[in-house]
């Protein structure tokens, strides 16, 4: 009697691993995590069509609640801090009637081995604007917290240093919803599509990460969420006496229509400037430490206008952000930059840059420690 040939167990395991790296049934290749710790995961949904679709984050081949949305060419973005274990698989897949495209940007970047210094939360569900407390539930959580009236929740900052904070409000179509983070920045939603904003900020143990939600005539939807994480590798001890982080906005005097060869000017708020990354005269960012960086742009167009911002590294386009119909829209992604790289931002196609347009760049880990999957 004939028997079917069998493969040695090591060969079979290797084959299964290789097959697991390829897309199946609409899923992009899954990424395996090789070091346990906290990671920032970024998703930016595809903008090249009308209508609404989403890109969903997968964890160990299963759907999660973490989603980047796109609606009528408004690019949806999400940056979220999550704990991952060695051996976990992370991926993404598109959903919806126009979901043939996956995320135009997808990254998983190591932040640190400690799982004590981050929190990710989302709204409990549909919340009408007359409610005042108890509107958030934990997804992942560390540290103490306090719930305050007026739809505000506060988290105690565990230690001094640079933090990455993401906020994403969601409200019904036709009504605005705003998330304010400590008075540092706002995230807006005015289309009924969750739209995020994120950035790096220096906080001390005297501070509290405060999230306040305000609404128009409607309510908060379940996709409203916030995520923050301490950048433990971006410290003076790790970086020889400095930090590498910059967050700033476009000041009113530089809110204008930009030329195609003109760098966008920041310097309106000086929310964070550590490491001398930005040259005000040339409007160019210089990288002095090789490593993994997280970068976000929040475009703020004029009313009834759109705005496309593009990030160039050494004259090569590496990232872009798009905001439409006067609604601020923010996207983030992670990059490997080398010492000596030069970055600048330009406006394309739709070139009216509104005040409060925001950029943020922060080092996650040096080259000798970086762990980045894209």
Give tens-digit pLDDT for 330-349. 788 999 999 999 999 998 77
pLDDT beyond 50 at 82: yes
Judged against a pLDDT cut of 60, whether residue 329 lies above it is answered with yes
pLDDT over 60 at 19, yes or no: no
d(CA 341, CA 285): 8
Which pTM does this prediction carry? 0.85
- What are the CA-CA distances from residue 355 to residues 27, 128, 231, 265 (Å)? 39, 31, 28, 10
pLDDT at 36 exceeding the cut of 70: yes
Are 343 and 288 spatial neighbours (Cβ–Cβ below 8 Å)? Answer: no
Least confidently predicted of 124-128, 302-306, 319-323, 350-354: 124-128
Residue 340 CA to residue 372 CA, distance in Å, equals 20
298: which residues sit within 8 A by CB, 6+ positions away?
185, 187, 197, 198, 199, 321, 323, 328, 329, 330, 331, 357, 358, 359
**Total count of residues recorded for the chain:** 374
Res. 129: pLDDT tops 60: no
* Residue 125, CA distances (Å) to 21, 135, 223, 346 in order: 35, 8, 8, 39
Taking residues 240-249, what's their average pLDDT?
93
- The one-character DSSP state at 15 is H
Q: Of 116-125, 137-146, 255-264, where does mean pLDDT reach its minimum? A: 137-146
HSE at residue 264, side-chain half, CA atoms within 13 A, is 35
Query: Rounded mean pLDDT of the chain?
Result: 78
How far apart (Å, rounded) are the C-alpha atoms in residues 233 and 25? 38
Q: What is the pLDDT of residue 136?
A: 57
Contact indicator for 312, 318 with CB cutoff of 8 Å:
yes
Nearest to 370 by CA among 112, 188, 173: 112
The whole-number pLDDT of residue 327 equals 65
Bridge-based pairing state of the strands 37-44 and 105-112 = antiparallel
Whether residue 12 has pLDDT greater than 50:
no
User: By mean pLDDT, which of 51-60, 90-99, 169-178, 266-275 is the weakest?
Assistant: 169-178
Which residue has better confidence, 50 or 243?
243
The pLDDT of residue 96 is: 66
Distance from C-alpha of 142 to C-alpha of 226, rounded to nearest angstrom: 13
The pLDDT value given to residue 219: 62
Q: Is the pLDDT of residue 246 over 90?
A: yes
Q: What is the pLDDT of residue 11?
A: 47
Percentage above 90 pLDDT, the chain? 32
pLDDT in tens, 167-220: 887 766 666 677 778 878 877 776 666 778 899 999 999 998 888 777 665 566
Q: How high is the pLDDT of residue 27? A: 46
Q: Which contiguous run of DSSP H or E holds residue 17? A: helix 9-19
- Residue 311 in this model has a pLDDT that exceeds 80: yes
């Amino acid at each position: 009697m004939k028997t079917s040939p069998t493969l040695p167990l090591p060969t079979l395991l290797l084959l299964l691993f290789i097959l697991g790296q390829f897309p199946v049934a609409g899923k992009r290749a899954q990424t395996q995590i090789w070091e346990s710790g906290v990671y920032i995961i970024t998703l930016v949904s595809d903008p090249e069509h009308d209508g609404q679709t989403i890109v969903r984050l997968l964890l160990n081949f299963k759907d999660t609640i973490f989603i980047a949305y796109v609606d009528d060419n408004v690019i949806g973005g999400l940056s979220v801090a999550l704990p991952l274990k060695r051996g976990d698989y992370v991926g993404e897949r598109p959903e919806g009637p126009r979901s043939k495209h996956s995320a135009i940007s997808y990254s998983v970047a190591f932040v640190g081995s400690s799982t004590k210094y981050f929190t990710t939360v989302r709204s409990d569900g549909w919340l009408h604007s007359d409610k005042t407390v108890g509107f958030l539930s934990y997804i992942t959580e560390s540290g103490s917290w306090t719930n305050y009236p007026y739809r505000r929740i506060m988290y105690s900052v565990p230690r001094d240093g640079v933090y990455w904070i993401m906020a994403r409000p969601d409200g019904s179509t036709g009504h605005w919803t705003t998330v304010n983070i400590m008075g540092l920045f706002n995230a807006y939603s005015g289309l009924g599509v969750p739209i995020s904003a994120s950035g790096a900020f220096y906080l001390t143990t005297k501070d509290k990460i405060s999230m306040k939600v305000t609404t128009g005539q409607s309510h908060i939807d379940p996709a409203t969420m916030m995520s923050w994480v301490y950048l433990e590798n971006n410290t003076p001890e790790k970086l020889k006496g400095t930090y590498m982080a910059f967050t700033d906005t476009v000041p009113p005097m530089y809110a204008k229509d930009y030329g195609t060869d003109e760098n966008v000017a920041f310097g309106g708020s000086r929310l964070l400037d550590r490491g001398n990354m930005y040259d005000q005269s040339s409007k160019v960012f210089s990288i002095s430490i090789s490593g993994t960086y997280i970068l976000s742009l929040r475009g703020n167009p004029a009313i009834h206008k759109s705005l496309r911002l593009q990030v160039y590294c050494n004259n090569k386009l590496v990232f872009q952000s798009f905001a439409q119909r006067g609604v601020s829209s923010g996207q983030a992604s992670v990059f490997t930059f080398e010492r000596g790289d030069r970055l600048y931002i330009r406006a394309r196609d739709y070139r009216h840059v509104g005040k409060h347009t925001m950029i943020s760049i922060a080092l996650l880990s040096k080259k000798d420690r970086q762990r980045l999957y894209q």
